Amino acid sequence: MEMRSFSDYLRSIDDAAFLELFSARPDLITPVPPDIASLAVRACSAPSLARAIDSLNQWQFQVLEAAGALNEPFTQKGLVALTDKAAAEALSHLISIGLVYPSEDGMRLPSQLRDVIGNEPAGLGPTSMIKLKLDDLDKAPTEATKVLERLIWGPPRGSVGDIKNPGPGVAWLLERKFLLPLDQRTVILPREVGLYLRGGKTHKENLVKSPVLTGSKRDERQVNLAAIANISTVLRWVEELLNFWAEEPADALRAGGLGVRDLKIIANHLGVDESCAAFITELAYLTSLISIDADDRIMPSNKFDIWLMQSPADRWQVIASAWLITSRVSGLVGRAEAKNVAALGPELDRVNASRVRALALSILNENPSLAPDLSSFNALMAWRAPVRRNSSSQEDLSAWTLREAEWLGITGQGAISKYGVIFQSGEDLNVINEDLPKTVDHILIQSDNTAIAPGPLEHEISQQLAIMAEIESRGGATVYRFSEATIRRALDHGKTGDEITAFLIKTSKTSMPQPLEYLIADVAKKHGKLRVGNTSSFIRCEDTALIAQIMNDKKLDVLSLRRIAPEVIVCDHDATDAMRILRECGYIPSAESSNGLLLSGPRLNRAQTKPRPPRVIGEIEIPTQELLTNALRSIRTGEKSSHKQTRLRQVANEALGALPRSTANETMDLVLKFIKEEKSLSIGYADNNGSVTHRIIDPIRVSAGALLARDHATGEVQSFRIPRITGVAPI
């Protein structure tokens, strides 16, 4: 068939070529276009072309730039002459993804492609409109040669003081049209001159082969041991973060996100730096484990409880999968040049983030047991993905990806782990459950009010101990410290002093130290003696001496206390603030209800609102083979329908001029005949204004002075009044 456009080329290719095109450019079938003409329009649009160009490596992009530097139509021989013999293979790939297409007289580029790759491909200027004597360049004076050396490899534009009074070198070049004036202060080097000076090549160096990845070799066993330790750590980090926010919810900023102060608190609590803390909060946000309620408080969602009930492998897969596909980049938090970027905020999206992560993991997967050098890794990334959108941040994205993959346990000691390989292949991750250290059901209490957990604790013991003590250090063994504040917290959660002591005696393999026993008994004795409620709030205590002490305490003047009874004080602050200030001043109050009951018991703060995970701003996923096949079938069917409609319109237009005028009786005879023969008819039909339109119909039956028929234009069954039919003709 004659190929005059990209649409004609698409109509000429077979199903296998279509499937290859759709696999490389899934945006073309999202949603599925109605026919090939619509498909061609979408494929030639700037956004789709930009996505396709982003999939090229450095060498393929160089070949595309060389094609853009040639006048259309061009040949494969001409393209190879500008580049290298390997351009033939790259050209086949460009054709397969629709960035170059063959026509009757040679190769062409889709419309708008030159605009997407730039008007100066490979740093070459525009084509000259006149024939140039390029041999004269060999005799150029020294001043002109110096000017050309600055422009030869691009950019082809240069500035002059005044185009009417240039220097001798520029004047010589302008006179012979080797430079063209753009305005009073700008000149440009024509494309033919640039190619001649480059020796007939578009690029200084043809980057046919990818750079070699270098790095340090790692022992596979040590890599996996480091990775499983990282997996255990990241799961603990997420759990500790959400348990902390269940106790003390953070406040969201008015503009959205987590404040610097709250981020520092989290970092100190987890024992990590702020960049890692931002990463952990983002993981919880991506997986809907946290929610921001109507009061702008950040706290765990109900999904957190479901997540805790899952196996470690399932928990890890949830957070790792969310990290891989998200467009959010936690590494942007805390950078000096991005002061307003906050964790959980709306400014963290980068459109190419997920593609950089996927490409980085793919490179690691291709080089097992190798911990790459960052410079070598960035060079390979730049070759594999040379023109990514937001390419200015690609090196940062690569570095952050390697760092976060290590935190997650996808890598260990910088090399891909077996868990990372299984994760990328989509296989079952039960091996994580088998390889994680076995949980222990005991602790070792020391004489300095600390307890050592010699391994990961069973979940129930870990949750109980987290209420009674603070984590002092982490590692293979976790150290917990007991203090007056932590014992008071356990009492606030409904524990009694005896219950705390019994739990520790039962759980510890060592005997209970006497100082810790006394500490628990002393705090339990004081707890609940001083009670706080709302008036705004009241303070009640049966010990009048303690009431007197509080009234005389200058540090409590901020509460504006007023004694209304020997055992009761009221103040204007609410109960929460009053309890906080009393605790800061060394007292141990507990909450009391309006009917005098002590308010203590386990508190699991959960957001009442549904979590709203962030949207993913990124690329379209590669569809399955079944979806590709169905899309192709739909387009083929739509193309046949469009072709049929075009043919019918042509027939109708031809028939309209020769449409016979017939009486009502003649019309009825012809209509009845074609109903019996079940053939299509061409009819003229008058509308309410008296103008005649042409219709292609399949007559069904005549009823009550009207013809019931299916109209080909709409595909619907309609009623046509017999007196308005001006004529009938077979197709």
Q: What is the DSSP string of 424-479?
A: HHT---HHHHHHSPPPB--BEE-TTSEEEESSPBPHHHHHHHHHH-EEEE-SSSEE
Query: Which of 644, 305, 225 has the alpha carbon at shortest distance from 476?
Result: 225
Q: What's the mean pLDDT when you consider all of the chain?
A: 86
State mean pLDDT over 32-61.
Answer: 90
Residue 649 has a pLDDT of 53
Q: How far is CA 556 from CA 534, 563, 579, 587, 725, in A?
A: 17, 13, 11, 11, 99
Strand 706-711 relative to strand 692-703, pairing: antiparallel
Is pLDDT above 90 for 230? Answer: yes
- Which segment of 93-97, 426-430, 460-464 scores lowest on mean pLDDT? 460-464
Strand partners, 537: 571
More confident call, 612 vs 27:
27
Place of tokens 């524990």: 495
Q: CA–CA separation, 466 vs 200, rounded Å? A: 72
The residue among 493 and 538 whose pLDDT is bigger is: 538
Least confident of 309-318, 642-651, 660-669: 642-651
Q: 702: left (phi > 0), else alpha (psi -120 to 50), else beta?
A: beta
Identify the DSSP state of 74: B
DSSP β-bridge partners for residue 693:
685
Q: Identify how many contiguous H helices and E strands the chain contains and give both numbers.
A: 29, 27
Domain residue extents for the chain: 134-197, 216-435, 444-520, 529-587, 658-731
pLDDT score, position 466: 81
Helix, strand and coil in the chain, % to nearest 5? 50, 15, 35
> What is the CB-side half-sphere exposure of residue 412 using CA atoms within 13 A?
23
> Residue 614 half-sphere exposure, CB side, CA atoms within 13 Å?
27
For 552-609, the pLDDT digits (tens) are 998 888 888 888 888 889 888 888 888 888 888 888 888 887 667 776 655 556 676 7
532 phi/psi in degrees, rounded to 5: -125, 135
| Helix segments in 157-301, DSSP class H | 168-175, 191-197, 220-247, 260-270, 274-286
Binning pLDDT at 50, 70 and 90, where does residue 525 land? confident
Neighbours of 23 (CB within 10 A): 15
Amino acid residing at 618: G
Q: Region 208-229: what's the mean pLDDT? A: 94
Which pLDDT does position 711 carry in this prediction? 83
pTM listed for this prediction: 0.73
Cα–Cα distances in angstroms (integers) from residue 708 to residues 666, 688, 703, in the given order: 18, 18, 7
**Across 704-713, average pLDDT:** 81
Q: Tell me the pLDDT band of 67, cut-offs 50, 70 and 90.
A: very high
Contact between 629 and 363 under an 8 Å Cβ cutoff? The reply is no
Q: What is the predicted pLDDT for the residue at 388?
A: 58
- Burial of 87-114, coded b for 16+ CB within 10 Å and e otherwise, reads beebbebbbebbbbbebeeebbbbeebb
662-690, pLDDT tens digit by residue? Answer: 666 677 778 888 888 888 888 888 877 77
- C-beta neighbour count of 240 within 10 angstroms: 19
Of the listed ranges 311-315, 341-345, 361-365, 374-378, the least confidently predicted one is 341-345
Give me the mean pLDDT over the 277-294 stretch. 92
Task: Give the pLDDT confidence score for residue 2 in this predicted structure.
Answer: 57
Q: Is 579 exposed, middle or buried (0-12, 13-18, 19+ CB in 10 A)?
A: buried
Instruction: Tell me how far apart the alpha carbons of residues 264 and 256 are, in angstroms, rounded to a whole number.
Output: 17
Supply the pLDDT for residue 389. 54
Would the pLDDT of 648 be above 70?
Answer: no
Predicted pLDDT at 94: 95
Q: What is the mean pLDDT of residues 167-195?
A: 89
Confidence at residue 86, expressed as pLDDT on a 0 to 100 scale: 92
Digit-coded pLDDT (tens) for 444-490 = 999 898 999 888 888 788 878 888 888 888 777 888 899 988 888 88
Whether 7 and 36 have beta carbons less than 8 Å apart is answered as: yes
C-alpha to C-alpha distances, 64 to 18, 203, 387, 601, nearest whole angstrom: 21, 12, 12, 69
pLDDT at 379: 92
- Is the separation of the CB atoms in 89 and 83 below 8 Å? no
Q: What is the mean pLDDT of residues 423-447?
A: 90
* Contacting residues for 426 by C-beta, under 8 A, at least 6 apart: none
pLDDT at 364: 95
678 backbone φψ class: left, alpha, beta (φ>0; ψ -120 to 50)? left
What SS3 state is found at 143? helix
**Is the pLDDT reported for residue 268 higher than 70?**
yes
**What is d(CA 90, CA 652) in angstroms, rounded to the nearest whole number?**
47
CB 261 within 8 A of CB 226: no
Q: What is the pLDDT of residue 618?
A: 63
Strand order through the sheet with 598-599: 562-565, 568-571, 537-541, 530-533, 589-592, 598-599
- How far lies 46's CA from each of 20, 37, 59, 99, in Å? 20, 16, 22, 12
Q: Report residue 580 as tokens.
A: 């906080």
Return phi, psi of residue 587, to 5°.
Answer: -95, 165
Asked if residue 642 has pLDDT above 70, the reply is no
Q: Which residue has the higher pLDDT, 708 or 528?
A: 708
Size (the chain), residues: 731
Whether the link from the prior residue into 300 is cis, omega within 30° of 0, is no
Reported as a pLDDT band with limits 50, 70 and 90, residue 280 is very high
Which tokens belong to 551? Answer: 């009234």
Contacts of 297 (CB under 8 A, 6+ apart): 249, 250, 251, 252, 607
Q: What pLDDT is attached to residue 293?
A: 83
Q: State mean pLDDT over 35-61.
A: 90
Q: Which CATH number fits domain 658-731: 3.40.190.150, 2.30.30.100, 3.40.50.300, 3.90.1150.10?
A: 2.30.30.100
pLDDT top residue among 84 and 695: 84
Whether the predicted pLDDT of 220 surpasses 90:
yes
| Pairwise pLDDT comparison (693 vs 1), residue with the higher score | 693
652 confidence band (pLDDT: 50, 70, 90): low
Q: List all residues 6 or more positions away from 335 whose beta carbon is below 8 Å from its beta carbon.
A: 341
pLDDT bin (cut points 50, 70, 90) of residue 318 is: very high
